[in-house]
Amino acid sequence: MYDITISPAIESLRKEIEALRKEFLRLYTRKNDMLHVERDDLYIKYLNLIGKDKYEIFCLSVEVRALKMKCELAQAAINRNEHPDAFLINRQVDKQLKDYYLQISDQADAIKAAQEAEMINSFDLEEMQNLFRLLVKRLHPDLHPDQPEVMKDLFIQGLTAYRTHNMQLLREIIMRLDLNKDIDEFVSKGEDSLEQIVERLKAQIAEIESDIETLQATFPFNIRKEIMDPEWIQREKEEMERERRELEEQKELYGQRLHLLIDD
C-alpha cells in the first residue's frame, strides 16, 4: 500500500479553492436574492406606500397636458379663422399622448400586481423565498452548467412558479429534487491547473461583486433606506399632495379655457 503525500503547496491551493467556492456561492446567492427576492419586495413596498399616489399624480399630469394641448390646438384653429373641431382635436391629442397612456396602463397593472402580492401572508412569503433560494442553489444553470435539459426546464418552471406566487407548484418542484444531495461542483477542473482555477474563481467573484455594486445603485435598491423611513414617506406624501393641488388647479383652468374656446 502506497503512502500518497500531498505537498503543502497543493493542500494550500485546495483550501484556497474551497474558500473561494464558498465565497462565490455566497455572493451568487446574494445577487440572486437581490434580483428575485429583495427587488420585488422593495418594489411592492414602494408601490403600496407611495407608488399609487405617484401614479395618480402622473395620471393627473397627463390630463393637464392633454387639456393644454387641446387649448393650443383650438386657439390655433381660431387664429386661422376656423371653428375648432373638438373631435379632430381629441384624436390628435390622443395620438400624441399615446406613449403616456401606455405608461398609465403599465403602472396600473404594476400596482394591481403589488396589491395582490401584498395579500400573501408573511409566513407564506417567507416559505416561498426559502424555497426559491433552494431552487437557485440546486438548479440555477450558472451554478450547474452541465445539468441535463430536464433539470433546466425544471428550474424555469420553478422560476415561473415563484414570480406568479404559485406556492403549490413551487413546493412540488422542490419535492422532485434530491434534497440530501450535496451541491454539484460548479468549477469544471478538466486539465486546468489549481492556480488557473483560483484565478478563474477570483475573476468570477470580482464580476459578481461588481454586479452587486451596480444593483445597489439602481432603483429600488438606491432608495431602500428611504422606503424604510416613515418620516421620509410622510414628507413624500406631503410633497405629492402639494403637487396634486397645483395640478387640480391647472386642470380646472385649462378645462374652463377649452370650454370657452370650443363653444365660442
Alpha helix segments (H runs only) across the chain: 8-33, 39-46, 52-79, 86-96, 98-118, 122-139, 149-163, 167-175, 194-216, 224-227, 230-263
Residue that wins the pLDDT comparison between 187 and 111: 111
Total domains in the chain come to 1
CA distances from 261 to 30, 214, 256 (A): 60, 52, 9
Judge whether 52 lies within some domain.
yes
Judge whether 47 lies within some domain.
yes
| Amino acid of residue 53 | D
Judge whether 183 lies within some domain.
no
Q: Which domain range does residue 16 map to?
A: 8-178+189-263
Q: How confident is the model at residue 206 (pLDDT cuts 50, 70, 90)?
A: very high
Q: What is the pTM of this model?
A: 0.54
Distance, CA of 202 to CA of 200 (rounded, Å)? 5
pLDDT tens-place string over residues 131-150: 788 888 888 877 777 777 77
Contact 173, 154 (CB under 8 A): yes
Q: What mean pLDDT do residues 162-183 have? A: 63
